Structure 1
Amino acid sequence: MGEIFGTGGLSFAAQADWARLPDEIRLGDVAGIAIDRRDRVYLFNRGDHPVVVLDRQGSLVDSWGQDIFSNAHGAHIGADDCLYLTDNGDHTLRKFSLDGKLLLTIGEPKRPAPFMSGRPFCRCTHSALSPKGEIYVSDGYGNAAIHKFAPDGRHLLSWGQPGSGPGEFNLPHNICCDADGWVYVADRENHRVQVFDGNGRYETQINNMHRPSGLAITTGPCPHCIVGELAPYQPVNRLTPNLGPRVSILDQSGKLVSRLDRGAGAGLEPGQFVSPHSIALDSLGDLYVGEVAATDWLAVFPDQPKPPALRRFQKFARVAAAVNA
């Protein structure tokens, strides 16, 4: 068992050598992670093999997606057993079968909506499915909106505008739905997760976090948020401790339940992070964290050369009982 991380009775063991990839598979930044019913792990990454599939033991099952994507960003597997991949480089959400057959494309490749227009899409970031199969897409880098689509891809509604008030966004970076249909949005540069009903009505927000990037929701009647928090990038606070990068588990009031953090800031040791961009849980409560370390290295370490080899993701095996499992 690896080094143990976590607080508050919820702990995880780092499994640094879990993945066993052949030499010909070289991962880029793992921007998105999704897990299917068989606990196979889908790594949506910025390398030459955009979708890499591993079994629970960390062995390669499949790889596909060459010559399709511009910039991998978000990955999600819905209750329909389909893989939804968000590409913020060509402004699309694509739906695939788990073996890589393209089933649906939402958005026009390489044709973004006008900047901050509120219309889909301008550098969309992530997607989630409601219990009814409706598709929600966060649209964050060139927009400040959430879009809702029917299962067949028909646009139903959009909400949001730039700002910091309820229902406003400053880079909606990630999105999840719980079993009751509530929609959780990682409002990254407003340092919060906003919660909406299925029609975009603001309900509440979860605070006490720093630049939420990765986001996952636990199961159960009162789900918790698992948040990948980014480091500060500005010169004025870049060296300030206790701001991230790290992974935190928060309840609905923003109370800290557990935290994966070595307490030493950004780094490459197990349990340290450079940019925790994507988070997923398997059926046993094991935690997977994808990183965009190569993309964010100079923002986090402006005075240090980028190492020749960077970790792309980490697995943490559950040790204590999972929250709300």
Structure 2
Amino acid sequence: MSNTTNNKRRKFIKSSTLIATGSVMAPLFGNTTDQLNTEVDPFKDDGRIIGHGDFKYRIDKQWGTQNLNKYPVMDCHEMVQDKAGRLLLLTNHPKNNMIIYDRSGKVLDTWTLGLKGAHGLTISNEGGEEFLYIATTSDHKVFKTDLEGKIIMELDYPKETGKYESAEKYHPTETAIGPNGDIYIADGYGLDYIIQYNSKGEYIRFWGGKGDGRDNFDCCHGITLDERDKANPCLLITSRSKQEFKRFSLDGNHLETITLPGCWICRPVIKGDYLFFAVLVTKTWGAYDGCIAVLDKDHKVISFPGADTPVYQNGILTAPQYDDLSFLNPHDVCIDDDGNIYVPQWMSGRTYPYKLERI
């Protein structure tokens, strides 16, 4: 792609999207332009090979594409796979919060809770039955549902912490479920606290908050349970605006901070021994410059699908350079049992998820 095309592309994006540099309101409520960048074909270079080392993929940008009138979406925020192999996509379109695909890209079912701020999606196997936890930013709640969308539990704003004057201060972005069923909620677009409940929804504790300390966060956008060390499970929590993620014990004690320069990472996703991130932004809001990161058990990046080869200098990661072709604000990853990755995207002109076929 020529420099002239690149300049036109970025100029158009800057003027036509609602992403505002330095603004928290755009990522908070997921406002999406209905107008896709007409100067850039979102399916350009479909079928290319991206990634590095043992983690290379053929990108299929049309895998999930549907008729917008029949299956409307705004932002495609997150995606999980159930034990039947179905792929469940969470969107913030109030008429269509959930789209359920098979692995071929065929839509099997849809349902909605009428949510405009549906953002975080976690699946949990509880006694052989699977449940979903949906964090919604503009509704200031977390919902537990079955796979058909029946609401089992609602968790309101955490007034027990003494930190919230009202529900309007609370904008949860993600959840994680502990080995004993405890529920951890990341208030990523609110006050940056992690709130812990038991499986019945009874308040236990909170920690974090916005700040620069090792126990603090700056946009704790994503959280997940890490059980790769079976004897010592922990929580991985992103501090997206700081371009880092942190390890915490299950009772909220800081264990480690891992910095990924140039990576505004959304949520951690673990598959086997490896950790995957959607990197929403590598340089600046207002341009499509995200990628995917694959990390080994030592938290070292070994592949950057959509960017250049990972490089470490004196043990420090060099900020990735986006390939300017692959993604439009990747927001999440879902990895199937064959190692294929499905990528929902935010603020992408209402595109549907891409598929990265493992090769």
2:85 is the alignment partner of 1:36: no
Task: Please identify, of 203-212 and 19-28, the stretch whose mean Cα deviation from structure 2 is larger.
Answer: 19-28
2:141 is the alignment partner of 1:92: yes
Residue pairs, 1:280-299, within 5 angstroms: 280-294=334-348
**Counterparts of 2:165 and 2:51 in 1: how far apart (Å)?**
39
Structure 1 residues 277 and 113: CA distance shift in structure 2, 3 A? farther
**Counterparts of 1:112 and 1:191 in 2: how far apart (Å)?**
29
Q: Which of 174, 184, 191 is equivalent to 2:222?
A: 174
**Counterparts of 2:154 and 2:161 in 1: how far apart (Å)?**
19
User: Does the aligned pair in 1 maintain the 2:131–2:145 contact within 8 Å?
Assistant: yes
Residue pairs, 1:138-177, within 5 angstroms: 138-177=186-225
The Cα of 1:252 is off from its aligned counterpart by 4.7
The Cα of 1:124 is off from its aligned counterpart by 0.7
Q: Secondary structure at 1:285's aligned position in 2?
A: coil
Structure 1 residues 79 and 217: CA distance shift in structure 2, 3 A? same
2:275 is the alignment partner of 1:224: yes
2:233 is the alignment partner of 1:193: no
Unmatched 5+ stretches in structure 1: 295-308, 320-325
User: Does the aligned pair in 1 maintain the 2:186–2:221 contact within 8 Å?
Assistant: yes
Q: State the match for 2:313 in structure 1.
A: none
Point out the structure with the larger helix share. Answer: 2
2:154 is the alignment partner of 1:105: yes
Structure 1 residues 112 and 31: CA distance shift in structure 2, 3 A? farther
Q: Secondary structure at 1:249's aligned position in 2?
A: strand
Task: Please identify, of 45-54 and 1-10, the stretch whose mean Cα deviation from structure 2 is larger.
Answer: 1-10
Q: Which of 256, 263, 266 is equivalent to 1:213?
A: 266
Instruction: Report Cα offsets for 1:202-233 as digits up to 9, x if no partner.
Output: 1112222421124312224xx43434241433
State the AA in 1 paired with 2:218.
Answer: N
Report sequence identity in percent: 22
Unmatched 5+ stretches in structure 2: 1-45, 309-320
**Counterparts of 2:165 and 2:239 in 1: how far apart (Å)?**
16
User: Does the aligned pair in 2 maintain the 1:127–1:135 contact within 8 Å?
Assistant: yes
User: Does the aligned pair in 1 maintain the 2:173–2:221 contact within 8 Å?
Assistant: yes
Q: Which of 289, 293, 305 is equivalent to 1:248?
A: 293
Pairs aligned (count): 291
**Counterparts of 2:358 and 2:226 in 1: how far apart (Å)?**
21
Structure 1 residues 216 and 175: CA distance shift in structure 2, 3 A? same
**Counterparts of 2:65 and 2:291 in 1: how far apart (Å)?**
25
The Cα of 1:13 is off from its aligned counterpart by 1.6
Q: State the match for 1:275 in structure 2.
A: 329
The Cα of 1:266 is off from its aligned counterpart by 7.6
User: Does the aligned pair in 1 maintain the 2:161–2:206 contact within 8 Å?
Assistant: no
Instruction: Report Cα offsets for 1:177-225 as digits up to 9, x if no partner.
Output: 12243100011111111011110111112222421124312224xx434
The Cα of 1:8 is off from its aligned counterpart by 2.0
Structure 1 residues 205 and 118: CA distance shift in structure 2, 3 A? farther
Asked which structure has the greater CA Rg, the reply is 2
The Cα of 1:4 is off from its aligned counterpart by 1.5
The Cα of 1:253 is off from its aligned counterpart by 4.2
**Counterparts of 1:112 and 1:277 in 2: how far apart (Å)?**
29
Structure 1 residues 44 and 129: CA distance shift in structure 2, 3 A? same
**TM-score normalised by length of structure 2:** 0.73
**Counterparts of 1:211 and 1:205 in 2: how far apart (Å)?**
15
Q: Secondary structure at 1:27's aligned position in 2?
A: coil
User: Does the aligned pair in 2 maintain the 1:231–1:266 contact within 8 Å?
Assistant: no
Structure 1 residues 231 and 293: CA distance shift in structure 2, 3 A? farther
**Counterparts of 1:293 and 1:196 in 2: how far apart (Å)?**
31
Q: State the match for 2:358 in structure 1.
A: 318
Residue pairs, 1:64-143, within 5 angstroms: 64-67=111-114, 69-80=115-126, 81-107=130-156, 117=164, 122-143=170-191
Structure 1 residues 53 and 143: CA distance shift in structure 2, 3 A? same
The Cα of 1:18 is off from its aligned counterpart by 1.9
